[in-house]
Structure 1
């Protein structure tokens, strides 16, 4: 048994190093730009009608934020970026968030920037009727309960909670923020959002690929050269962790060699791709310049004159969509910390 285990470990290590060598030579464009098609959206009117600010900020706390920064050191090393879980979000990241929310019509998504607000999240869980109640009051309660007991304000961990339609940010990296927002955009187009959330527990690589490719498309559309380089540098090694998780189903004894090998391969691949960023930008715009970016054509609107809002939603993962007439996203007013730049729109 020990010999077989050693042989399996040796093979998995050899596979990892072969993959690293291959990616280092050619630069594999796994996360190629690809917009999330959002021809329709499924949105709970109660979330759109929420009178609170769409972006909310936690008050700076030197001791707590410093402790969170220290706790986040492993993540900083893994992605090789000191901004991971630094609990200090600056204006460029906030601006990237505001731009993405507006460009993709996500008026129901809450963004909590280094904020701990479990009571509000429980209220959002109750209001989010695009997820059927059996999912909300099982997986949803577990997710919000976990955020309450293990607060990201200390433990970090940028993520999107589909049960509350809330993005939690603790890292000052625009590419990471856009990635979490892309998850929100992906879920919004799904009719059965509870089932889609359950699927993430088994095949997260599917969801992660879709979100990262949308981020790349968003940045390529804007010709954001520095943003693309940052996304290549951060999203590829992060993606490697999910690839390793999927590969572990087939190489159960791969262990640390498989995990860290995939992360290293992601670092190498992302940097190799950035060498040819100008050519990639030229090729992208040459290919897609005649294709309009898809925009949502069907949503559940909030209350507008002459536009009915369903008084009750069917007991399923998503309500029937309604054609919009004049829907506009609410303004992104914020409770801004004293040391951050205020955005106005």
Structure 2
């Protein structure tokens, strides 16, 4: 297993750069519009979001994943790729090299796109949204106990298979937020993760269906409606559960 180096921080923050981050903000406009949230790919991550992800990883014992907050570190990522013996060499030196090359040539520090890279065991965060950060942490948690990590990463590439992994990460994030004191964070979780999941459905479907925009919008709008409806019920469900002194289960993507 790839271990963090002695005295190496698990979470590293990119050095602020007003010009680069402004360009990144512009590149992030489509995601802001599609998900109706200005925090998406805004490249200015609050201490609260960083703390929420740190706490999630700690509580779930995900101790060796690297977290890069709005950071571009190609040297560090190539090093992690070569040292990550928990992923088979065949996977690392093919798909892992490709993923890291894309990271190097098309830096998320500019183009955005929160993600988890299983080949380097790294979480990259560019959005100031707790639920999004925890969702990416959910992917790292999902990979952590798996013995055949490279095979599982390849499974993501099979048409529509990624929807399974995305649902696992989203449900885990919602369940975690439900267990926290803040009803607002849980509400925001529904409102961002449901339409985000709809974009995954749209992305998979539009590989085989034309026209692209029609199909994409057709799945995105219901995602927003359902997410906002689920979010609007959080306060009432929590209040009802507290009044009855019972535990209420979060409403996951399968409902």
TM over 0.5: yes
The farther-off stretch of 70-79 and 279-288 is 279-288
Partner of residue 168, structure 2: 210
CA distance in 2, matches of 1:121, 1:50: 17
SS of 1:222 mapped into structure 2: coil
SS of 1:47 mapped into structure 2: coil
Deviation of 1:97 after TM superposition, in Å, equals 1.0
Of 146, 154, 171, 2:102 maps to 146
> 8 Å contact 1:68–1:87 — kept in the other structure?
yes
1:58-73 map, 5 Å? 58-73=14-29
SS of 1:81 mapped into structure 2: coil
CA offsets, 1:244-271, max 9 Å, x none? 234447x723522111121111111111
Partner of residue 194, structure 1: 150
SS of 1:51 mapped into structure 2: coil
Answer 1 or 2: higher relative contact order, Cα 8 Å, separation at least 6.
Answer: 1
2:183 paired with 1:225:
yes
> 8 Å contact 1:88–1:171 — kept in the other structure?
yes
2:231 paired with 1:274:
yes
Partner of residue 155, structure 1: 111
More helix by share: 2
5+ long unaligned stretches in structure 1:
1-43, 289-345
1:44-59 map, 5 Å? 44=1, 46-59=2-15
2:206 paired with 1:235:
no
> 8 Å contact 1:47–1:124 — kept in the other structure?
no
Partner of residue 286, structure 1: 247
TM-score, structure 1 as length reference:
0.67
CA distance in 2, matches of 1:50, 1:79: 39
The RMSD of aligned alpha carbons is: 1.8
TM-score, structure 2 as length reference:
0.90
2:111 paired with 1:111:
no
5+ long unaligned stretches in structure 2:
250-255
SS of 1:65 mapped into structure 2: helix
SS of 1:111 mapped into structure 2: strand
The farther-off stretch of 217-226 and 57-66 is 217-226
> 8 Å contact 2:42–2:127 — kept in the other structure?
yes
1:16-95 map, 5 Å? 44=1, 46-95=2-51
CA distance in 1, matches of 2:91, 2:165: 18
SS of 1:286 mapped into structure 2: coil
Deviation of 1:48 after TM superposition, in Å, equals 3.7
CA offsets, 1:8-44, max 9 Å, x none? xxxxxxxxxxxxxxxxxxxxxxxxxxxxxxxxxxxx1
> 8 Å contact 2:237–2:248 — kept in the other structure?
no
Deviation of 1:279 after TM superposition, in Å, equals 4.3
